[in-house]
Structure 1
Amino acid sequence: MSEKKQANLCRHLIDAATQFPTSLAVAVQKKRFNKLIYQEMDFAQLHQRSDQIAFALNQYGLKSGDKAVLMVTPSLDFFSITFALFKAGIVPILVDPGMGTKNLKQCFKEAKPDAFIGIPKAHFARRLFGWGRETIKHNITVAGTGLWGGIGLKALLAKYPIQENNYSMVKLEDDQLAAILFTSGSTGTPKGVVYSHEMFEAQISVLKNDYQIQHGERDLATFPLFSLFGPALGMASIVPEMDASKPITANPEYLFEAIQKYECSNLFANPALIEILGNAGNKKGIKLATLKRVISAGAPATLPSLKHFSKLLNKGVDILNSYGATESLPISKIASSELLKTEAITDTGGGICVGEAVENTQLAIIKISEEPIENWSEELTIPAYEIGEIVVKGPQVSQQYYARDNATVDSKIADGEQSRHRMGDLGYLDEHGRLWMCGRKAHRVETVFQDKTSTYTSNYFSICSERIFNTHPAVKRSALVGIELAEQKTAVVCIELLEKPTESSLKLFNELRFIADKHDHTRGIKHFLIHQGFPMDIRHNAKIYREKLAVWAKSEIKKEFNK
């Protein structure tokens, strides 16, 4: 454990409010009567407002160590409340509303929240679906009255006005529970990830040192969690008018206007949004001249979309592609100028390069296994270029899941004071120490084929296989799934086309089989199906729900066999 025993990430906000009190901290774009307006708050105002809310929460009965669900849309209140919770030592529970009501109910059952802070719509859902009914004692409604839940935020602040302008911020041990962030559940059941202030501090350090973010910058933040790092870095967070849980529905014109109005130097966006902005910007001939850095995370970016978006940027400005997960973010990064040089490797099944490790982070590859690993040993590692399971260690890596002991045992490997985390992703390291992603461990397809004399085993990896088939000019994207066929696991590739087919699919399938036989990563794949539109996660529009697709594929293959 580090020597630093007391921590609270709000110290960065206090520093900024002291040194640059009138500098812009947050701006929120809102559409009102077909016109875009902007609400703003400087560092001094954000510091003061969060102090007022922290004090009122304490008077209302919430104390350090209590847990509070936060379901508030990105707004000035969202920033003020989140920093207030951290200042008061109250543990925010952050969830992705897009995970569905059933998963949300399970998340709240596991997290056992003491309070629910949300907009009226969230309180309506809480009451309708019984979220947190067993444990929630305090309800606070934001941007509305307390009609649907407890007391309104405005009424709370009026009832408990702070007597002095300085709130005594709670300081926690640096490894103590500071927040619970739930995974999206796009590749399994959502799990609560335990965050400490030490983790947050490590992430802030990476953003300062590896990404070179400095005070005075302005960031167009399209993801609420990342937007919180802005004020902690002395950088203004500009929040556009969009549904943060469904970035692909964003209006590009709104984002372009916000970038230009505030002369944003940084943009954080997922690959799907990068693609949408690139297409829209190129059609209108837009140049985002103030951007000096673009950060993309959440899913592997497609190389064509990076090329397209790069046309909007000044020469020499990179899109920094970050790799990580809720449990460990960021882990590695690679600039688009370097990534585009690897296109030929990716298109022939070599996986996607996600770059070198960020500061104080160790990457390792171990043999693929479903079994828990209790203790770390260097003997577990495998040689460069051999595909295995990605394991990471660093101060930004969560040490456990909340109320999920079995998941913690399955994914953590004890290694001194900091456990290593098994990412659940497969990949390899090259001779330069760069990490290459080959797909999720759960998405690999292991097939066994027997003839009269021999048994053949093949391992197919989702990213390696799919990027090969995606090179076909008719293919928009592909998805590898495994199904049971004649009591054997069989690889099937589902295809989504760019346009409606104008000729027989038999010709396309023969072409895809020819492509498959040319590459080691796809040789032996014989089954292809055309799907009208893959089931996708709503946030990233890049993570395919393969479990649903596999069920569909099995039924389609059975139909073919029964004809």
Structure 2
Amino acid sequence: MISPLERQHVGANLCRHLVDAANHIPDSLAVAVQHSRGQALDRLSYEEMDFQTLNAKSDHIAAALIQFGLTPGMKAVLMVTPSIDFFCLTFALFKAGIIPILVDPGMGIKNLKQCFIEAKPDVFIGIPKAHVARRLFGWGKHSVNHLISVGGGRLVNGLTGAVNLEQIVKECDNTAFKLQWLADDAMAAILFTSGSTGTPKGVVYSHKMFEAQISALKHDYAIKSGERDLATFPLFSLFGPALGMASIVPDMDASKPITANPEFIFAAIEKYQCSNMFVNPALIERLGQAGSRTNHQLTSIKRVISAGAPATISSIKRFSAMLNSDVEVLNSYGATESLPLSKIGSQSLFNTTTITDNGGGICVGSAISGVDISIIDIDESPIENWHDTLSLPPYQIGEIVVKGPMVSRAYYQRESATIAAKINDGGFIRHRMGDLGYLDDKGLLWMCGRKAHRVDAITADNRVQRYYSIPSERIFNTLPDIKRSALVGVVIAGKLTPLVCIELNQAAACSKSSLLYAQLRTLAEQHSHTQGIERFLIHPDFPVDIRHNAKIFREKLAVWAQKQIKE
């Protein structure tokens, strides 16, 4: 085993944590994957692997991939569902210095194709269904030279032209594998953003970034070796073994958490007495509703981490009813480019509701250790170098800018996007989040929505009046008939005008629309940051991202609203 002093000279590799766990707690559970047959709870089964086996098997796969012809520095698209194979394979790629490209299948066919064009992968590793889609849509046809399938047998391999991973491993001569050590800032992975607020971009991850995330989970979230995590997000589940924590993977579609079976998740938690959960807002809502119907209790859970989008206060309160009184939901703020950045416990969050309901934004807490958060003027122009005079004072809304060891340095093959989002700060990089917000006098960060979602309206006397999505929408969301609202801009008589799209609760009757519109206009005039909003439209079902069921596609709503105005 390499000592920390030696490691400073040879480089970095995320898998060193797995090697350490295999040496110190070899027989402890590393991964358990739930399998269901139908919807019956009594037909659930679990596939398990300890740290020693996970380390040895990923070593063997890494050696086999190298013998098969893959070399360090190659890029490999990985489209494998959460499984034992997923864990072994991903760690094998990291160990071999092969760069995994992780994409979210939920981003859509068009966006997926663009990801392949930009990333230019050398290798495609996927389940049979992914290989069929690859051939059908031509993914990576100009760059991929190695095709590897995971599962499916010879018939599928013949149809897709891929070689089965099991066959590759079987033919390996078991040559001893040597872990690849890389420079701290060398590219370790490419993670594509979801594309929910624009075209997906490939974020270049280094082992240094992964190390910073592991450190944050250890120190700021107090995760300890020996814990068991209910893992509902593939990337986060990989951190479990790196932390000496077992990852318990429920049988669910990770790209569509809203479709998960709550009973399966509850069963996995209880079987393994999970102490940690990582859940997004859609799953918090679904599990909370299921728990409230049956008065279910999650007595083993000591910590809940929520990220991806802001969860509603009501859904957090409903979910928290299943937890012990001293357990909080830790709401984390960040993005694929930089995560985590700040956090706030649910009890503190509950105390901010009055400010939020009056248009003060959503509190996302204080910066974690090693992270610096600043607010700068709203401007689309690139900023080459950072200077402290760019920072705005407390309570002034602007763009959120962050610096820390988990902040990415660049997008892959997107120089213009890198220039627009990155600021050099004496060798460090600050990232412009594309989110708007402000810091209060206690250093708490308050979110006010995406920069692209603000509406700079032109008033009757040709002044610019700026509206922010979260503060404006929260005012209208306080009405009981409203499920959610979305601020958009439409052009009327040649001027950009604010309009709020409304989605009603199921119990609300559309026949009351004229009365509701009057209520909304009255409410708008009562708050300074919504004054001037006079137009509202009821939309039957907002378009939202499938992963979080919370990020509203306002661009689509704006197109729809503009068509209604023209009619």
TM-score of the superposed pair, with normalisation by structure 2:
0.96
Structure 2 SS opposite 1:331: strand
Matches of 2:102 and 2:379, distance apart in 1 = 31
CA distance in 2, matches of 1:438, 1:219: 32
Cα gap change, 1:5 to 1:474, in 2 (>3 Å): farther
SS, match of residue 48 in structure 2:
strand
> Among 497, 509, 515, which residue is 1:501 paired with?
509
Q: Which residue is equivalent to 1:275?
A: 285
For 1:114, the equivalent position in structure 2 comes to 122
| Cross-structure match for 1:139 | 147
* Whole-angstrom CA distance in 2 between matches of 1:297 and 1:291: 17
Query: Where in structure 2 are there 5+ consecutive unaligned residues?
Result: 1-6
1:144, distance to aligned residue in structure 2 (A): 1.7
Q: Secondary structure at the residue paired with 1:32?
A: coil
The amino acid across from 2:297 in the alignment is K
Indicate the residue corresponding to 1:523 in structure 2.
531
Structure 1 residues 227-306: aligned runs within 5 Å: 227-306=237-316
Q: Distance in 2 between matches of 1:54 and 1:417?
A: 34
Report the Cα offset of residue 502 of structure 1: 5.7
Q: Please give the alpha-carbon distance, in whole angstroms, between the structure 2 residues aligned to 1:171 and 1:163.
A: 18
Counterpart CA distance in 2 for 1:304 and 1:86 is 40
| SS of aligned partner of 2:268 | helix
Q: Sequence identity of aligned pairs in percent? A: 64
Of the three residues 210, 215, 224, the one matched with 2:225 is 215
Offset of residue 316 of structure 1: 1.2
Partner amino acid, structure 1, of 2:85: D
Question: 1:70-469 counterparts in 2 under 5 A?
Answer: 70-145=78-153, 146-147=157-158, 148-164=160-176, 167-451=177-461, 455-469=462-476
Amino acid at match of 2:193: T
Q: What does the per-residue CA deviation read over 1:482-511, in whole Å, with 9 as the maximum and x for residues that have no partner?
A: 111111001110111112416430100100
Report the Cα distance in structure 2 between the residues aligned to 1:520 and 1:275, rounded to whole angstroms: 32
How far apart are the structure 2 equivalents of 1:182 and 1:150?
A: 24
**Aligned: 1:69 with 2:81:** no
**What whole-Å deviation, never above 9, does each CA across 1:13-44 have from its counterpart, x for those lacking one?**
00000000010000001112541110001101
Structure-2 separation of matches of 1:63 and 1:349: 54
Deviation digits for residues 141-180 of structure 1, max 9, x if unmatched?
Answer: 001232324210111111114134xx20000000000000
Tell me the secondary structure at the aligned position of residue 428 of structure 1: strand
Is the 1:277–1:309 Cα contact (8 Å) retained in structure 2? yes
Secondary structure of the equivalent of 1:313? coil
Alignment pair present for 1:29 and 2:28: no
2: CA distance, partners of 1:502 / 1:60: 62
Q: Is the 8 A contact 2:10 2:181 kept in 1?
A: no
Cα displacement (A) at 1:265 = 0.3
1:9 aligns to 2:14 (yes or no): yes
Counterpart residue number, 1:39: 47
Question: Residue 499 of structure 2 corresponds to which residue in structure 1?
Answer: 492
**Conserved in 2, the CA contact under 8 Å of 1:194 and 1:400?**
yes
Contact 2:483 2:505 in 1 (8 A): yes
Tell whether the 8 Å contact from 1:219 to 1:230 is kept in structure 2 after alignment.
yes
SS at match of 1:425: strand
CA distance in 1, matches of 2:201, 2:226: 36
SS at match of 2:364: strand
C-alpha change, 1:262 and 1:394, in structure 2 (3 Å) is: same
Shift of 1:456: 3.2
Secondary structure at the counterpart of residue 256 of structure 1: helix
Question: Is it true that 1:540 corresponds to 2:548 in the alignment?
Answer: yes
Decide which of 480, 486, 490 is 1:479's aligned counterpart: 486
Alignment TM-score, normalising by the size of structure 1: 0.97
Q: Give me the whole-angstrom Cα distance separating, in 2, the residues matched to 1:504 and 1:279.
A: 28
Q: Secondary structure at the match of 1:371?
A: coil
Structure 1 3/58 Cα, relative in aligned 2: closer, same or farther at 3 Å? closer
Where does the alignment leave 5 or more consecutive residues of structure 1 unmatched?
none
The Cα shift of 1:102 comes to: 1.2
- In 2, distance between residues paired with 1:502 and 1:434? 40
Per-residue Cα deviation, 1:186-228 (whole angstroms, up to 9, x for no partner) = 0000000000000000000000000000001011011000000
Paired residue total? 553
Q: Residue by residue, what CA displacement relative to the aligned partner does 1:50-83 show, whole Å, maximum 9, x if unpaired?
A: 0011000000100110000000000000000000
Is contact 1:183–1:193 with CA below 8 Å preserved after alignment? Answer: yes
2:272 and 2:536 mapped to 1: Cα distance? Answer: 48
CA RMSD of aligned residues (A): 1.1
Tell me, yes or no, if the aligned pair for 2:344 and 2:365 is still in contact at 8 Å: yes
Q: Deviations over 1:104-151 (max 9, x none)?
A: 111111111110000000000001111111111111000123232421
SS at match of 1:124: helix
Question: Offset of 1:520 from its aligned partner?
Answer: 1.5
Asked whether the 8 Å contact 2:124–2:148 carries over to 1, the reply is yes
- Could you tell me which amino acid in structure 2 is paired with residue 104 of structure 1? L
Q: Report SS of the residue matched to 1:489.
A: strand
CA distance in 1, matches of 2:359, 2:496: 21
Displacement of 1:424 after TM fit?
0.1
Amino acid at match of 1:279: Q
Amino acid at match of 1:31: S
Letter matched to residue 250 of structure 2 = P
- Kindly state the Cα deviation for residue 457 of structure 1 after the two structures are TM-superposed: 2.3
The answer as to whether partners of 2:218 and 2:243 remain within 8 angstroms in 1 is: yes
SS of the aligned residue for 2:474 comes to helix
In the TM superposition, structure 1's runs of 4+ consecutive aligned residues that sit over 2 Å from their partners are 2-5
Shift of 1:5: 6.1
Contact 1:141 1:149 in 2 (8 A): no
Distance 2:54 2:259 in 1: 29
Q: What corresponds to 1:556 in structure 2? A: 564
Which amino acid in the other structure matches residue 94 of structure 1? L
- Structure 2 counterpart of 1:197, one-letter code: H
Q: Which moved more, 1:363-372 or 1:138-147?
A: 138-147
C-alpha deviation, 1:4, in angstroms: 6.7
